[in-house]
Amino acid sequence: MTKLAYFEGRIVPIAEANVSIRCNTLHYGTGCFGGLRAYWNEEHKQLYAFRLLDHYRRFLDSARLLLCKFEFTPEQLRDITLELLHREGWREDVYIRPLAYKDDGIFRLWLHDAADKVAIFTQPYGKYISADAGAKVCVSSWRRVDDTAIPARGKVNGAYVNSALIKSEAMLNGFDEAIVLNQDGHVSEGSAANFMMVRNGTVITSPVTSNILEGITRRSLITLLREELGLTVIEREIDRSELYLADEAFLCGTGVQIAAIASIDHRVLGQGGTGPVTQQLRDLYFRVLRGEVAKYMDWLSPVLSTENALQVLAAKSSP
């Protein structure tokens, strides 16, 4: 299988998709990126990419924050991604990474008047948290980047130093992951995932004004929780001490998918595993991602054409 990438306006072998050490973004973190997934359905012989347009809208919003000048539409980026996935021929779950970066070859610091470029590549990717049936979580000693410094609602490369500090501290201290508070002491999110907790049957999640990334998974799960599980979801500020009193809690995001939290700062939540709401939600979410729930098929873009899928099916059934 040839590994490919979208680079400098063309799909090329990935070995040719390289930037110079003089690339601005390499020095100053002045780029932005996305993280998407596509899921393979063995029965349908189909690869389904999840909410491509929503991801690319957010990607272009992040690029706007950074004064990027390129002219892509979400639809164009979706089509490039589908073409790339199609040409690479994935028959398994795959992660998709679009990246916008500034590359003048003279490592200028400023955002405006720079050569803005977009690259996209794909690769298999497992779980962001391996203990996703019950992660041991702490509250980070770091604080989330504030909107007055680096906007967390944009997926800005440089801001991920904050995420990396949070993640490494947690892991080196024997935890799987951390929850980070924002500057005023309210819960923001995980190092690279949004946070939700269940208390007395109600789902609570931090609002978009708590310096969170406006997660596509978070938004999708709010819909599923309300529409399919019939639960009330409240977006409001969460205090640190409320975390300890949750009946269940989980992290959600493209990388993490849905990772149940077993304990926070050594306080065990519920039975210390995957709570019933988390379990029900996860089961439903994975069925949606694999194209098994008709109502949510418009969240998915099939990568293989129907014709192609039929050929695969025919080939499978022939002796």
Question: Residue numbers of the site for ligand PMP (CB under 6 A)?
Answer: 35, 163, 189, 192-194, 213, 215-218, 253-255
Cβ at position 7, least distance to ligand PMP in Å: 22
3-class SS of residue 237: coil
Cβ at position 191, least distance to ligand PMP in Å: 7
User: Element (H or E) spanning 13, and its range?
Assistant: strand 10-13
User: Element (H or E) spanning 109, and its range?
Assistant: none
Cβ at position 218, least distance to ligand PMP in Å: 6
> CA-CA distance, 319 to 213, in Å (whole number)?
50
Cβ at position 252, least distance to ligand PMP in Å: 6
Q: What are the DSSP E strand ranges found in the chain?
A: 4-7, 10-13, 32-33, 36-41, 46-50, 94-102, 116-123, 135-143, 177-181, 187-190, 194-199, 202-205, 233-235, 248-253, 257-264, 267-268, 300-302
Cβ at position 28, least distance to ligand PMP in Å: 19
Is residue 176 within 8 Å of 83, Cβ to Cβ?
no
Pick the closer one to ligand PMP by CB: 114 or 179: 179
Pick the closer one to ligand PMP by CB: 4 or 191: 191
Pick the closer one to ligand PMP by CB: 4 or 100: 100
Which two structure tokens, joined as six digits, stand for 243?
Answer: 């975390």
Please, what is the angle between helix 52-65 and helix 216-227, to 10°? 140
Pick the closer one to ligand PMP by CB: 116 or 189: 189
3-class SS of residue 21: coil
> CA-CA distance, 44 to 30, in Å (whole number)?
41
Burial of residue 113 (CB within 10 Å: 0-12, 13-18, 19+) is exposed
CA angle 116-119-120, nearest 5°?
A: 150
Cβ at position 216, least distance to ligand PMP in Å: 4
Three-state secondary structure readout of 110-174: CCCCCCEEEEEEEECCCCCCCCCCCEEEEEEEEECCCCCCCCCCCCEHHHHHHHHHHHHHHHHCC
Pick the closer one to ligand PMP by CB: 114 or 150: 150
Pick the closer one to ligand PMP by CB: 163 or 263: 163
Pick the closer one to ligand PMP by CB: 194 or 263: 194
What is the DSSP-derived secondary structure letter of residue 14?
G
Cβ at position 153, least distance to ligand PMP in Å: 10
Pick the closer one to ligand PMP by CB: 218 or 282: 218
Pick the closer one to ligand PMP by CB: 96 or 213: 213
Amino acid making up residue 51: R
Cβ at position 217, least distance to ligand PMP in Å: 3
Cβ at position 132, least distance to ligand PMP in Å: 14
